[in-house]
């Protein structure tokens, strides 16, 4: 369900009801009340529309141009983000776009290397993904023995000497914890002993106006190595903060994650 479309339709319906009442129904209702000597009664639907229209407009504006909430459904961005995290995404980081139409009306910035970005899947625009931007237009991105390379230079990284057991596609495997620095962003990654996956989107320049993205859980992520480059027009916004967490295993919030910035 496209919630933006629902909000736009709801706003239009409420505005139409309110305008119809002001221009036509209310004068007839008041004239009838004067003739009968009784107080004019405002219909419940008109009262509801008039009362809630400002609220719906504010929600639509905030969600379309400021911040939009998302829920993390998979482990592809672990350990940065985990299943059960609810996050805020800054919609104005990559430009203001009209709701539903997604047409950019104001340029306020571009994705930067290292950003955790939400984007619409090019093959299915109704599906949102969240990954880390690793390649900007013109970059040549490579993976060599679990090491990320950009434009012929290795990305600063190091293993922390810690191993964790993670689940991927119904299988469990051990992964080493590493730390990686992309631009101004330092973040942890999970690296297994699996071989680097081949991809037709690596070792070649990222096309103009497009980006290459990867999950921090490098060997358990359906990312740019599979789905290809992400056009700028598909970018939704930059993930900025965890506002809520609900752990499915313990059936309770993980309080220490709430309020954490997303790096």
Annotated catalytic residues are 76, 131
The total number of residues written for the chain in this structure: 263
Question: Residues 6 or more apart from 185 whose CB is under 8 A from it?
Answer: 113, 114, 115, 263
Quote the tokens at residue 147. Answer: 């090491």
Question: Residues 6 or more apart from 232 whose CB is under 8 A from it?
Answer: 94, 110, 111, 209, 210, 211
Alpha-carbon distance of 119 to 123, in angstroms, equals: 12
Burial of 97 (0-12, 13-18, 19+ CB in 10 A): buried
Alpha-carbon distance of 263 to 259, in angstroms, equals: 13
Residue 106's DSSP bridge partners are 96
Burial 130-149 (b: 16+ CB within 10 A, else e): bbbbbbbbebebbbeebebe
Spatial strand order in the sheet of 230-231? 67-71, 85-90, 235-245, 116-121, 124-135, 210-214, 230-231
């Amino acid at each position: 369900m496209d919630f933006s479309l629902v909000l736009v339709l709801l706003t239009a319906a409420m505005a139409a009801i309110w305008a119809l009442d002001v221009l036509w129904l209310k004068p007839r209702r008041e004239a009838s009340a004067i003739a009968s000597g009784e107080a004019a009664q405002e219909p419940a639907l008109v009262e509801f529309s008039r009362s809630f229209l400002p609220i719906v407009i504010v929600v639509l504006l905030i969600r379309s141009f400021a911040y939009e909430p998302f829920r993390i459904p998979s482990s592809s961005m672990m350990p940065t983000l985990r299943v059960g995290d609810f996050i805020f995404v800054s919609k104005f980081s990559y430009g203001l776009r009209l709701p539903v139409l997604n047409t950019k009306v104001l340029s306020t910035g571009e994705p930067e290397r290292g950003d955790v970005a939400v984007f619409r899947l090019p093959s299915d625009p109704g599906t949102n993904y969240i990954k880390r931007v690793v390649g900007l237009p013109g970059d040549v991105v490579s993976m060599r023995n679990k090491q990320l390379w950009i434009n012929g230079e290795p990305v600063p990284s190091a293993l922390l000497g810690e191993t964790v057991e993670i689940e991927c596609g119904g299988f469990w495997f051990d992964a080493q914890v590493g730390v990686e620095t992309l631009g101004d962003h330092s973040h942890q990654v999970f690296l297994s002993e699996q071989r680097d996956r081949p991809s037709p989107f690596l070792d070649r320049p990222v096309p103009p106006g497009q980006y290459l993205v990867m999950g921090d859980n490098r060997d358990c992520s359906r990312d740019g190595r599979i789905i290809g480059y992400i056009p700028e027009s598909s970018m939704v916004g930059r993930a900025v903060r965890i506002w809520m967490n609900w752990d499915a295993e313990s059936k309770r919030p993980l309080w220490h994650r709430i309020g954490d910035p997303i790096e």
